[in-house]
Amino acid sequence: MKTVDTQEARMLAHVVDQLKGFKYYDVHGKSYEELKRKLATLRAMEVEVQNPGQGWF
């Protein structure tokens, strides 16, 4: 296995572990980029608005 393949596998495993923390398990057959976008979406949905005046959007 090449170093590049090992690094890509580690990056993918890290994203999958992060997604499991959000209880998202539909990872089979999806690319690293797709999973990374899903993780970003889940993280963004978790943000809480501190100021009530900013909650309009």
Interior angle at CA 23, CA 32 and CA 37, nearest 5: 30
Q: What is the pTM of this model?
A: 0.77
Query: For 17, what's the count of Cα atoms within 13 Å in the CB-facing half-sphere?
Result: 6
Walking along the chain (57 residues) 10 residues at a time, the average pLDDT comes out as 86 97 95 96 83 65
Residue 2: predicted pLDDT: 80
Q: If you count them, how many residues does the chain have? A: 57
Residue 3: predicted pLDDT: 82
Distance between CA 36 and CA 53 in Å, rounded?
31
Say which residue the tokens 């890509």 belong to.
8
CB atoms < 10 A from the CB of 19, how many?
19
Residue 50: predicted pLDDT: 73
Residue 48: predicted pLDDT: 73
